[in-house]
Structure 1
């Protein structure tokens, strides 16, 4: 037999089953380890990790985003208002946050009504209201991480807390320190430390606080008033935010930085986000806020799995009984088979002598009926394992 013929002889139904079982076991082990290491919070995955696909659409790690149209966005907030939830959003920070605020508001503006006047100074606070949605969106001009921003957070601790707060700044702090990295890191970290207590208190009150990590800049395209910015110092601010806020109630919006970094060449001035980047960031905010309340089949990020029904629990219990019974029966057969083999070696001659003196019996009577039950229970056990795997994948 040649090597090729020997290899072909190994390709059987039994070997295919063994290979499939090994692959499934590897998949379960791999994903189990990932969940143990990274956790199972899909909101955390949405806000922290992801990549661009070939069509330049953003794909978060471990879950799927729903694309919110204006109709979907309004439907979500209308439902939340009906259920008594707060539709109060606050964006606080510098030009980048102001840009994000404007893109967010456009998601709810109908026929251009409610947009900000063109003559509004770029450093002013902004407000958007929609009575039908009970929606209140604020932008607070806070270009630096100073006492003004801290005071806002402390006021929310005792007053009406927003449903979602998106904050972030770095350019003003970097430019004010004249490229002194050590001083920048110290003062920026101190400002973040002062945010930790209000952030924890607001999260306990039901608010969601996102600290937007800073996108890199395209230095050769920066306008004159921002030429002092440097990616090294931006990374320093991001590192300080990571070290201080990692174990607080704030969510570090790291995927925002990854989105901006991936399409940095599309930035209009090397600093502000491109339209493509803004679109992805707004979709992340809407998926974070709405998915758990809406029944979109393609939006699994930030969506809690439905609780198991009574029928599912009863079925799982029956499947578990089948698996335990089938596994136990298989194990007993293995143990008794070894015993029978040892015993048969001792009495082989006696059996042969008895066969010679007696007439042959009907072979059909020698087939033990126990084999039928064994085949049934092991088949049910295997079928239960397959169904359990599909249920696990669905969850």
Structure 2
């Protein structure tokens, strides 16, 4: 075709050929390799420990009530009194000590008070009756806790003597943490003279050998001085300027950087925190010199994260925390995965370098193959070789992806940061994505209610909202939490609708179909359980939909078998289907009303390990099951009612017109809109999560059915769909599971940081890689289904037996057998 239109079309085709899923995944692979190289250089330069980052750098995220301090590259846990005392008790229980010393001026005394307020059960126990310039001490014998403040406001011989005394003591009697700092007293007493600064520099240099020697048994932090609010200083302190403080801080950094010990640290992040709150009107400094309480609380949190994280292993506290130790099972799995990669590499090399041999060599190979085959047909053997090659390449791809998962979330190689919530952070990305989704719309070839394009679209935009919800930590807002609960319920509702429709229309209740669906749903999660050392229940959504699929299958498999064809031939079978629904809803209600009966069923071996967490608790499964206990049955019932209405011509969706007559359609539309608004009002009226969760199962179907009716009542709306959301919806299950470790981090408690210091770019890069991996897993899973669950029942049985034998050692480990 010639002309402008033809040139434009050929240009579009060229762009489409270049920017496809395959090329996108190639780009993602190159980006991952580049990021691995970049972070490798960072670790070679600065080390792999995140304590240095915690103590040196960070920034504020959010604003107002949602403002939080984010250390550079690692996650900070918020220690309350219970957490802090648990940490101190844990250290004391294992023979350690909690001997902590704060040494310096009045600002260090503030840190002392902030630290003990975080761990003291009753603040009245803190003795504040001492004079200002006096040593302080707080002790608790059962925690082996001895926290002291030593008043040494100037770096001089008296400070050196303290270190000399500590060095004369036995190692067990020395402090295990020393927080020190000094400057403002020297500035004030010398009227900011240059000689005082030189005296400070000289004495700190003389103190360095003692610091290095003591650091063999103690961790030492030199806290840089916080800025002052000059306009609030009284007349006796006006010489303490920020220029003077900066000069003293610079001198301290120049001297301490030559320390020969890894246990002597310059603590600069506390200064950055105080600087961020210097002009905070809600937390004003009382005198312009001392740090306000909010900054002190953040500083105390930094100290506890440094001191406790490696002991407590909180999921949201990765700063100063070593990664998990690999288990024997993980090592075995990685060895097997490595073999897959090696074999696949050999196959690819063979294809590339040996497939271009001469025709004579090709004939020779075919003759040898003829001798190896009983039927003298080398094509059969060639086909089998190609099949096994494709299977091995699929396994190698899974192995490489699992290595990336492990690198992201079971090591400290890539950085992690805490989530922080603000309403703009949650709603603006959703608005952008919805604008993009509405831009890419087209007409579907289907006209029926909840056709495949429509359900994929629905799953797609719901998944995008859920991802934004998890990424920003929006669960703290009750209204948002309850709307997300509806989206999760909708997934289960659609699962019930879709599987019921398939069984009802096809009557296919074969075991081949059963295992095919179970394999497709569970492949990724089983691999993650083995690689990431997490129980099956950790990925709660997959156990949930797997369980409910088995329930749907059992409902149809139970005698009498009822399908659309059998019911058409014998209308009494409609009654049998209704009775099955009555039994199903009754069993679900009985299980909910008797938690003891529920536990007896699901805590029975050998399937107990599928429903408990690592601490052998079934509470997580109980919560997930009961909150959406009626969702799948409701979806099944909706599908049954929908097919009955179609059969009796009450609704007609085989054309592009309305489902109902104009008058009935108007009434139904108003009722549906009212149903959605009713649920919105409910989410705004309920007061707490337990109360909302208790009511949710009984009314969650209302907004779902209302949306489905509004989406399908008009033929124009029914056939239009967003191709962007539909493509996302096709991989929604993979997106939901993959987000745990390669988009979020620390088992969803934080976010993965591949590009530090550039949050927007980091979201773009991590999201691009995340979506490409989810798409590849979806594609590989579809290929592997035909090998794992072949159409021949004998091979399927063989594979299931091999899989069960493979699970025996895992089952013994987890207490299944």
Give the alignment's TM-score, normalised by structure 1.
0.88
- TM-superposed CA distance for 1:104, in Å, is 1.4
> 2:338 matched to which residue of 1?
320
Deviations 1:282-334 (A, max 9, x none): 00111111111113211111111122222222222222222222223212321
> 1:144 matched to which residue of 2?
154
8 Å contact 1:157–1:202 — kept in the other structure? yes
8 Å contact 2:49–2:320 — kept in the other structure? yes
Q: What is the alpha-carbon distance in structure 2 between the residues aligned to residue 370 and residue 382 of structure 1?
A: 18
Give the unaligned 5+ runs of structure 2: 1-8, 363-375, 412-817
8 Å contact 1:114–1:129 — kept in the other structure? no
> 1:273 matched to which residue of 2?
291
> 2:184 matched to which residue of 1?
171
**Secondary structure of the corresponding residue to residue 293 of structure 1:** helix
**Secondary structure of the corresponding residue to residue 85 of structure 1:** coil
Q: Which moved more, 1:55-64 or 1:322-331?
A: 322-331
Q: What is the alpha-carbon distance in structure 1 between the residues aligned to residue 67 and residue 116 of structure 2?
A: 24
1:30 has 2:38 as partner: yes
Deviations 1:116-138 (A, max 9, x none): 244x2111111111223221111
> 1:61 matched to which residue of 2?
72
> 2:277 matched to which residue of 1?
263
- TM-superposed CA distance for 1:28, in Å, is 2.4
RMSD over equivalenced CA pairs, Å: 2.4
More helix by share: 2
**Secondary structure of the corresponding residue to residue 150 of structure 1:** helix
1:216 has 2:227 as partner: yes
Q: Which moved more, 1:195-204 or 1:96-105?
A: 195-204
Match of 1:283 among 301, 305, 309: 301
Deviations 1:171-191 (A, max 9, x none): 12223443333x344322222
Give the unaligned 5+ runs of structure 1: 348-360
- TM-superposed CA distance for 1:4, in Å, is 2.8
Match of 2:386 among 366, 371, 375: 371
> 1:390 matched to which residue of 2?
405
> 2:808 matched to which residue of 1?
none
> 1:353 matched to which residue of 2?
none
8 Å contact 1:144–1:169 — kept in the other structure? yes
- TM-superposed CA distance for 1:31, in Å, is 2.6
Which structure exhibits the higher relative contact order, with contacts defined as CA atoms closer than 8 Å and separated by 6 or more residues?
1
Deviations 1:226-285 (A, max 9, x none): 111122221111111112112423111010111111111233222111111001000011
Q: What is the alpha-carbon distance in structure 2 between the residues aligned to residue 75 and residue 167 of structure 1?
A: 25
8 Å contact 1:91–1:138 — kept in the other structure? yes
**Secondary structure of the corresponding residue to residue 315 of structure 2:** coil
1:107 has 2:118 as partner: yes
Aligned residues: 377
Q: What is the alpha-carbon distance in structure 1 between the residues aligned to residue 144 and residue 383 of structure 2?
A: 74
Q: What is the alpha-carbon distance in structure 2 between the residues aligned to residue 113 and residue 221 of structure 1?
A: 30
- TM-superposed CA distance for 1:366, in Å, is 8.8
| Dislocated runs of 4+, deviation >6 Å | none
1:230 has 2:273 as partner: no
1:79 has 2:79 as partner: no
1:200 has 2:208 as partner: no
> 2:266 matched to which residue of 1?
252
**Secondary structure of the corresponding residue to residue 63 of structure 1:** coil
- TM-superposed CA distance for 1:99, in Å, is 1.0
**Secondary structure of the corresponding residue to residue 119 of structure 2:** coil
**Secondary structure of the corresponding residue to residue 291 of structure 1:** helix
- TM-superposed CA distance for 1:367, in Å, is 4.4
Q: What is the alpha-carbon distance in structure 2 between the residues aligned to residue 312 and residue 367 of structure 1?
A: 35
